[in-house]
Structure 1
Amino acid sequence: MEAVAQQRAAGHKVGSVRAVGTRAVLAELAGMEDVLALQARLLEQPLPGQLEVLAAAETVLVTADSPASARRIGAQLLELDLTAAEQRNGGVVVIDTVYDGEDLAEAAELTGLGIDGVIAAHTGQLWTVAFAGFAPGFGYLVGENDLLTVPRRSSPRTAVPEGSVALAGTYSAVYPRRSPGGWQLIGRTAARMWDLDREQPALAAPGHRIRFRAVRETVAVAPEPPAETSPPKVASGLRIVTPGLQSLIQDLGRHGHSGLGVSVAGALDRASLRRANRLVGNAPSAAAIETVAGGLTVQAVGDQVLAVAGAPSDLVITGPAGTEAEPLSRTVAMAAPFALLDGETLRIGAPRSGFRSYLAVRGGADAAPVLGSRSTDTMSGIGPAPLAAGQLLAAGGEAESGVVGNPELQPDFPGTGVTVLDVVPGPRADWFDQAALDAFIGQEWRVQPQSNRVGMRLDGTPLKRSREGELASEGTVAGALQVPPEGLPVLFLADHPITGGYPVIAVVVDSQLDRAAQVPIGGTIRFRWAESGLHPGPATPGHTAPNDNEVSN
């Protein structure tokens, strides 16, 4: 049941490989030296089918373009010879730091070095960005010695100031923006660790080297004041009359940036986004509006071609005030293209089933791309802000066809009954005994109101771990079901943090993530084990053939 393939050869090798859902594998290594070596090897010489590489404290997560590629990569990882990562030829990033942090005295006592000794140890060694996580621009730095090993604070702060220089365990880091945090604060810097206006937003990416320099005061370079510009005139597009509970611009996400701490984000129901775009003649990845629970009302600026896919709802069009040529209102069908003439309004009603709807406009929603995507990432704050009443949203130029599509049939969407989702055992299913695994599968879980695009919080009978202690942070994926100490699973969705420190008991198969995203607040979910052939690692817990758990060639 342990879902592990052990590497038999000695030397610098991957220790084991665990499946993470259907399209990713997690390589476990002996230490940070091997983590850095494997990360460098995969970035310089990608394996066939490899999409992303995410290093963490003791592991490297590799995502693939298909389950078959994931199985092949898992076997290939076990055969790689690892050598120490070579130092980059580029220069060292120097970070000027004022050492006056709130926890400097405590760190001095914990290390036994004294305040001057802590400063000397921090500035006197070269640090390497081992991996990213927590937030874009937050790099976990490893030094050349362990002189500054300190525990995290027993009670995390609710707000750590931007630019705080900190220690935790054997790592150092700089907080790129104001956020909660439990690291020991020893100083502060004005260096901008994350800046989307730079060609490379991260000041230091994984593999880069950093040296801290003690100064009496930091000098921040004031950004140039923005030029006074009037809001752009929208000649063709949509005016947001009522945004509903939450309406966001989404496309198929920003891929390839997990190493910088940036999640994919993008539409939660990818099939519905593609369907809406296909109906109006857009490219499949064109940006559209994702809205939840109905209530979105938009007005056409110029004649528009629209389509709404996803949660089935009433779509009501109302003519401009005082118009006599058109009836007061009319209804249009879901999953079918329709015209919204200049001045007319469209209102999306409350869903009869499902939770999320996708409104596509011919040409696509025109928003400024960030790292190659127009998606809003609610976790990091990257991308367009949520839509607001009165906002003008221009239609872009992403129409791919000169004609609109034919009306399409949609799948059934989750309703008031129980939604069954197929899962495969998670990389840390062995943190739970058979009774906990049976309890996970054997009960119905209710979606709590605190759920959002980051993750669905589930309520039910808590699950008990069979292991003590905590797990070192490691890469994770959309669909992962993490189990915090309280025992209630959290189902990660598209805006999830790229690393997590709680054991993942199971992962929803990729093909059912769209359906999972349509389960409404208050809805219920039951999980069931998928066929073992769907994923690159373990078979169903409790029903495992002798060698089914191994990744082999």
Structure 2
Amino acid sequence: MPGVGAFPMRPVGDRACIIDLPDLDRVLGVAARLRELGLAGVVDVVPAARTVLVVCADRAAVRGVAEAVAGLDEPLAARAAAGAEVTIDVVYDGDDLAAVGELTGLGRDGVIAAHTGTPWRAAFGGFAPGFAYLAGGDARLGVPRLDSPRAAVPAGAVALAAGFSAVYPGESPGGWRLIGRTGERMWDETRDRPARVAPGDTVRFRAVREAVVLAPVVRTGAPRRDPRPSEPALTVLDPGMLTLVQDAGRPGHAALGVTESGALDRDALRRANLAVGNPPQAPGLENLNGGLALRARSALRVAVTGADAEIRVEPAGAGAVRSPRTGSAIELAAGETLRLGAPRRGLRCYVAVGGGIEDRRGVLGSAAHDSLSGLGAPPLAAGAHLAVGPPPQRPADPEHAAPAQPPVARRAVLRFVPGPRDDWFTPEARTAFAERTWRVTPRSNRIGLRLDGDPLARSRTGELATEGVIRGSVQVPPNGLPVLFLADHPVTGGYPVIGTVIDADLDRAAQVPPGAELRFEPVDPDDPGEPLGFDAPVPETVAFTIEIDGRRHRITVPGDLAAAFDRLTAAGDRAKLAELLVELVGKAARRTGRMMPRVSE
């Protein structure tokens, strides 16, 4: 795919591509042209500083984009966008205003005059909902980012970096240089147009001397007024570690800084919905690591899919506890309680209710909770009441309840397409990425799986210009440890992506627990082959035979201990292996009543 037509083009997994362009004018021109073409299967067009990311529904649509790009003529400059005219009042008292004055040689008053004296163009969104990259201002204001980002930048902060200006829509970490503040609310989902500034708008900053009061941030997911409140159908007795309302998410809004979000294991949500007769993408519940308890307030049909967890239905009074199987339609009577235990395999369970979870706090057509931005319904809390929609008209479909493959246990192999920025890494690092085994850290979440192992070395220094990323992108920050982006990832990033996991394996990635091992297998996006190995679960106990004083004895040890033995053997870690052997032999010696023999190398 590289070198398609006049513009270099790189694959991003099997359902996206990125187009490299020489400047922002051509970025905006190509993005506008692709939107005008209305190509079949194109889900999102994401312009950035020097690239356009095109996200597609399938591989055929990616090939259609390649054909369209090959037909574009060079040069292709940006067309004037018919955007809104936006004026933003700013008090110029930012922490970095004096430093920017020194870096530019303009002084404090000169920076203010330059910032307000030239109109800015909203080029593209990113980072967070309502965060717009403003270009085309005074060229003298092209200052670099801070060497070390701030842990928290306040909402309403007006900032400069790398030739762009922006207003932070909410408090967040950030490395831009702060020159002022505004009381404008940059994102408000209750407005018809949630973003105060959208791509294509013209923005003028106006200096004001009086203090501004920052507009209060609207709590994301605040209820909208509705004259027809629904009767609660479920009461949350215990939300467990984390339970969220999830559906198909918000595809197609990355240009506003809004990521897709939605269920991490999309197939599990689909199967749960089909089992109760719902449309495949109806809103359901995503539960992390069990512990969820729901009490029915009326007769309901539910189904649980995803991780392999114990399911219990407890009666309202006297009666037997039921243990239905995963994926089956479960009839709940009023007063009965549904409980989920800790998963034996996998990490996340999905609960569908006939009629779908009804939540009137949806944003951009979705109730899905986005953990990065806070959009959508908030996490469930004990005592909360859940409403459901009208009973489904379609029949339940138990044939599709069982998963195509069981959830991940301790080890998984994920297929990936190299790039788009694998050329930022040494040949040894590119080889090591695919050959090493990576461990999933407890810092992983819905934004991404953070991996631990030997760091990957870069072949290039400096900053990568901000560009679009997708679910499945494996980004490598300066510490060299990969992060596999999941559903709540930022829509743009400034670290190189060494590879992109193909779409078919992302549901499985959602079920990989902390401590599990991951390996990545490179594939051709046009011929990825069949899903690769997912190891059997670690059993509760494993039997060994060990020779002691010339006699062999059978002992039984916990499965996790035996798995550790296997890992150390494969890794050749002789010191730790000897420690573990001492423990195993000690167990055998205690069983036989003999003195523990010496274990030598």
TM norm. shorter chain > 0.5: yes
- TM-score normalized by the length of structure 2: 0.83
Structure 1, 73-82 or 128-137: larger mean CA deviation: 73-82
Q: Is the aligned partner of 1:258 residue 2:254?
A: yes
Q: Which secondary structure state, in structure 1, belongs to the residue aligned with residue 130 of structure 2? A: coil
Q: Is the aligned partner of 1:50 residue 2:45?
A: no
Measured against aligned partners, the alpha-carbon deviations of 1:351-389 in whole angstroms (never above 9, x if no partner) come to 111111100010101112211011000011000110001
Amino acid corresponding to residue 5 of structure 1 in structure 2: G
CA–CA distance in structure 2, aligned partners of residues 90 and 418 of structure 1: 50
CA–CA distance in structure 2, aligned partners of residues 222 and 421 of structure 1: 45
Q: Which secondary structure state, in structure 2, belongs to the residue aligned with residue 253 of structure 1? A: coil
Q: Is the aligned partner of 1:338 residue 2:330?
A: yes
**CA offset at residue 89 of structure 1?**
4.3
Measured against aligned partners, the alpha-carbon deviations of 1:380-422 in whole angstroms (never above 9, x if no partner) come to 1000110001110111237241556457332333444421111
Give the paired residue count.
523
Q: Which secondary structure state, in structure 1, belongs to the residue aligned with residue 526 of structure 2? A: helix
Pick aligned residue for 2:303 from 302, 307, 311: 307
Amino acid corresponding to residue 495 of structure 1 in structure 2: D
Q: Which secondary structure state, in structure 1, belongs to the residue aligned with residue 305 of structure 2? A: strand
Pick aligned residue for 2:123 from 106, 127, 130: 130
Pick aligned residue for 2:107 from 110, 114, 124: 114
CA–CA distance in structure 1, aligned partners of residues 238 and 497 of structure 2: 39
**CA offset at residue 332 of structure 1?**
0.9
Structure 1 partner of 2:533: none
**CA offset at residue 143 of structure 1?**
2.0
Measured against aligned partners, the alpha-carbon deviations of 1:440-462 in whole angstroms (never above 9, x if no partner) come to 11111111000000000011121
Q: Is the aligned partner of 1:454 residue 2:447?
A: yes
Structure 1, 526-535 or 227-236: larger mean CA deviation: 227-236
Pick aligned residue for 2:68 from 53, 76, 79: 76
Conserved 8 A contact 2:451-2:483: yes
Conserved 8 A contact 1:163-1:189: yes
**CA offset at residue 486 of structure 1?**
1.2
Amino acid corresponding to residue 237 of structure 2 in structure 1: V
**Superposed, which structure 2 residues align to 1:516-527 within 5 Å?**
516-527=509-520
CA–CA distance in structure 2, aligned partners of residues 84 and 467 of structure 1: 29
**Superposed, which structure 2 residues align to 1:496-535 within 5 Å?**
496-534=489-527
Q: Which secondary structure state, in structure 2, belongs to the residue aligned with residue 291 of structure 1? A: strand
Pick aligned residue for 2:241 from 238, 241, 245: 245
**CA offset at residue 44 of structure 1?**
2.8
Pick aligned residue for 2:51 from 59, 79, 88: 59
Structure 2 partner of 1:32: 24
**Superposed, which structure 2 residues align to 1:465-544 within 5 Å?**
465-534=458-527
Greater C-alpha Rg: 2
Higher relative contact order, chain-length normalized (CA < 8 Å, sep 6+): 1
Conserved 8 A contact 2:245-2:379: yes
**CA offset at residue 103 of structure 1?**
1.1
Residues 183 and 19 of structure 1: CA distance in aligned 2, closer, same or farther (over 3 Å)? same
Structure 1, 125-134 or 142-151: larger mean CA deviation: 142-151
Structure 2 partner of 1:154: 147
CA–CA distance in structure 1, aligned partners of residues 207 and 239 of structure 2: 49
Measured against aligned partners, the alpha-carbon deviations of 1:518-550 in whole angstroms (never above 9, x if no partner) come to 111111111111235247xxxxxxxxxxxxxxx
Q: Is the aligned partner of 1:274 residue 2:270?
A: yes
Residues 75 and 265 of structure 1: CA distance in aligned 2, closer, same or farther (over 3 Å)? same
Structure 1 partner of 2:583: none
Structure 2 partner of 1:285: 281
Structure 1, 78-87 or 160-169: larger mean CA deviation: 78-87
Structure 2 partner of 1:85: 78
Structure 2 partner of 1:431: 424
Amino acid corresponding to residue 254 of structure 1 in structure 2: R
**CA offset at residue 151 of structure 1?**
1.5
Conserved 8 A contact 2:272-2:401: no
Amino acid corresponding to residue 253 of structure 1 in structure 2: G
**CA offset at residue 46 of structure 1?**
2.4
**CA offset at residue 72 of structure 1?**
2.5
**CA offset at residue 429 of structure 1?**
1.2
CA–CA distance in structure 2, aligned partners of residues 474 and 227 of structure 1: 34
Q: Which secondary structure state, in structure 1, belongs to the residue aligned with residue 30 of structure 2? A: helix
Structure 2 partner of 1:207: 200
Q: Which secondary structure state, in structure 1, belongs to the residue aligned with residue 64 of structure 2? A: helix
Amino acid corresponding to residue 19 of structure 2 in structure 1: A
Structure 1, 138-147 or 291-300: larger mean CA deviation: 138-147
Measured against aligned partners, the alpha-carbon deviations of 1:288-321 in whole angstroms (never above 9, x if no partner) come to 000011111111011110000111111111111x
Residues 370 and 48 of structure 1: CA distance in aligned 2, closer, same or farther (over 3 Å)? same
**CA offset at residue 222 of structure 1?**
7.0
Structure 1 partner of 2:549: none
CA–CA distance in structure 1, aligned partners of residues 20 and 226 of structure 2: 54
CA–CA distance in structure 2, aligned partners of residues 230 and 73 of structure 1: 42
Q: Which secondary structure state, in structure 2, belongs to the residue aligned with residue 25 of structure 1? A: strand
Residues 353 and 90 of structure 1: CA distance in aligned 2, closer, same or farther (over 3 Å)? closer
Structure 1, 113-122 or 274-283: larger mean CA deviation: 113-122
Q: Which secondary structure state, in structure 2, belongs to the residue aligned with residue 136 of structure 1? A: strand
Structure 2 partner of 1:5: 3
Measured against aligned partners, the alpha-carbon deviations of 1:80-103 in whole angstroms (never above 9, x if no partner) come to 125332333455211111111111
Conserved 8 A contact 1:57-1:472: yes
Conserved 8 A contact 1:280-1:404: yes
Amino acid corresponding to residue 239 of structure 2 in structure 1: P
Measured against aligned partners, the alpha-carbon deviations of 1:142-179 in whole angstroms (never above 9, x if no partner) come to 12441111111222221111111111111100111111
Identity %: 50
Residues 93 and 332 of structure 1: CA distance in aligned 2, closer, same or farther (over 3 Å)? same
Q: Is the aligned partner of 1:422 residue 2:415?
A: yes
Residues 256 and 343 of structure 1: CA distance in aligned 2, closer, same or farther (over 3 Å)? same
Q: Which secondary structure state, in structure 1, belongs to the residue aligned with residue 487 of structure 2? A: coil
Residues 121 and 533 of structure 1: CA distance in aligned 2, closer, same or farther (over 3 Å)? same
- TM-score normalized by the length of structure 1: 0.90
Structure 2 partner of 1:21: 13
Q: Which secondary structure state, in structure 1, belongs to the residue aligned with residue 128 of structure 2? A: coil
User: Any stretches of 5+ residues in structure 1 without a counterpart?
Assistant: 8-12, 536-553
**Superposed, which structure 2 residues align to 1:361-400 within 5 Å?**
361-368=353-360, 369-397=362-390, 399-400=392-393
Conserved 8 A contact 1:413-1:515: no
Q: Which secondary structure state, in structure 1, belongs to the residue aligned with residue 346 of structure 2? A: coil
